[in-house]
Amino acid sequence: MTLKNFLTILILIMALPCYAKETIDKFGYINIDWWKNYNDELLVEHLQTLYNNNHDLKIAALKAKQAEENVRLAGANQLPQVGFDGTFSRVFRGPRTQFGNTVIPRYIQNEIFLPLNASYEIDIWGQNYLNRKSAKKQKEIIDQQERAAYIYLTSSFAANYYNLIKTDELKKTLEKIIGLQTDIVSMTERKYNAGLASINEVLEEKQALVNFEKELNKLNENKKVLSDEINVLLGLNTDKEIEHASYETVSSPEAPDSISTVVVQYRPDLISAESYIKKVGLDVRVARREFLPKFILFGNIGFNAYNWNRIFAGETFLANAGIAPTWDIFSGGAKLARYRINKYEYKKAVEEYEKTILTSIQEVNDALIESKTTRANLAKANEEFDIEKEKHLLSEKQFNIGDSSKLDEMKSEVNLYLIKQRNIAAKIDNVISTISLYNAVGGIDYTQTEALNL
């Protein structure tokens, strides 16, 4: 094996861990394992489409790539700069050029200068090094913003997805209610014509039917809005409704009764705020070093000739090197102003960080309370629905034995469906509260907090 092949293999082996880390990080953004807790394959498939097509996620990824290039750009200042700065000129001297007692007559000649110029700033004070560290911190902030975009957009999609399921189920129930209420209106009108009901009863039943129809129109509107929002999130140019699971199969992970506030350390906004403090701290140190002198190594090597046919002759070779100290002694207070700006920015970053901690704890607590409330409401809604089912069974038995009319039995069924609507809303609200909690804790699996040493 040649030395070249050996070095190539060695470089590839060293690069493998970096590639693996990037893959793990990207998977951490997606966190498909969490969404599998909802036992909905369609949801997971739609999320995969969102990861591939969503324009906001693509923009966030491009910003991350820009941040990588900014790190490389900052690193370039730590390296020597080499460039070519050649000139070709035609010189026309006047009729009399005098140097002391020596007089040079009029002449015309070419001047050809072909040098390679090199310069390197000696980073004595570590200013360029600090600039690169600052760029790396900025990249960390952008990475967390990309992660935040994944968490927010997936949570938004999932919430819309389950709201769409809720809307469809409410529509089905409401259409049954409208069908029953239409029959109730018809039967009440017949009773009125027979002199067994007042006109007020007829009008009340008609008014109830109108209200149910208005509610159905509102549900149709909500469904269209949800479908449009979902298609935008999926990056689909269509007005078709996406396929979703049935209401009966909906399930969600069990939310805990309590979560340690330490969990906020995983939130991308808190990590970003912490990285921003470090970045601005580096910027303050850079601004402080602006007051110090700089030292630049320079040199060039090339050819300086007066005729093309002699351009590479030995006597035309030119080379020089040196060091140039530079120091802006007075700049009108610009350096001091930049230093103070960065210093105030650092203080502001500390305040933002402390505010973010408080806000994060508040959002986690609010989401946890919402989860507890929706879980309790779902239990009560189930209890209420069970009671209403028993009442309806009694109404059916009364009708079967002739103790009540068909009209009473139909009104009882309408009430049953109305209670069922509350039950549907409570169940989906409980599912969405688990998504809100996932968003609040920074996109981690809060059902496994013990494994995270929380």
Domain residue spans in the chain?
Answer: 31-78+126-173+222-292+328-448, 83-122+293-326
Q: How many CB atoms lie within 10 A of CB 444?
A: 18
What's the burial of 219, exposed, middle or buried (CB within 10 Å: 0-12/13-18/19+)?
middle
For the stretch 304-352, pLDDT in tens is 888 878 888 878 888 888 998 888 888 888 989 999 999 999 999 999 9
State both tokens at 81: 């700069």
Domain 31-78+126-173+222-292+328-448, CATH homologous superfamily name and number: Outer membrane efflux proteins (OEP) (1.20.1600.10)
CA 174 – CA 417 distance, rounded (Å)? 8
Q: pLDDT grade, residue 6 (50/70/90)?
A: very low
Three-class DSSP category at 87: strand
Closest CA to 304 of 94, 83, 85, 92: 85
For 366-385, write each residue's pLDDT tens digit: 999 999 999 999 999 999 99
pLDDT value of residue 135: 94
Distances (CA, A) of 208 to 49, 62, 111, 201: 43, 54, 99, 11
Residue 379, CB-side half-sphere exposure with 13 Å CA sphere? 5
pLDDT, position 77:
83
Question: Which residue, among 265, 398, 259, 276, has the nearest Cα to 347 in the 3D structure?
Answer: 276
Structure tokens at 71: 């790190």
Q: Which of 63-67, 88-92, 389-393 has the lowest mean pLDDT?
A: 88-92
Q: Report the range out of 28-37, 246-255, 301-310 with the highest average pLDDT.
A: 246-255
pLDDT tens readout for residues 94-150: 666 667 777 777 777 888 888 888 888 888 888 999 999 999 999 999 999 999 999
170/294: higher pLDDT: 170
- pTM here is 0.83
Strands 102-105 and 108-122: unpaired
**Which amino acid is it at 89?**
S
User: Which amino acid would we find at residue 117?
Assistant: N
* Confidence band for 386, pLDDT divided at 50, 70 and 90: very high
pLDDT digits (tens, 9 = 90+) for 139-188: 999 999 999 999 999 999 999 999 999 999 999 999 999 999 999 999 99
Smallest Cα–Cα separation from 263: which of 450, 431, 36, 137? 450
d(CA 74, CA 133): 9
157 Ramachandran zone, left/alpha/beta (phi>0; psi -120 to 50) = alpha
By three-state DSSP, how is residue 62 classified?
helix
Decide if 77 contacts 131 (C-beta within 8 A). yes
Residue 432 has pLDDT above 50, yes or no: yes
Name the amino acid, one letter, at 154. T
Query: Hey, what are 450's tokens?
Result: 């013990």
Assigned CATH for 83-122+293-326: 2.20.200.10
Backbone angles phi, psi at 101, to 5 degrees: -90, -5
Give the model's pLDDT for residue 95: 62
Q: What is the residue-wise DSSP string for 370-412?
A: HHHHHHHHHHHHHHHHHHHHHHHHHHHHHHHTTSS-HHHHHHH
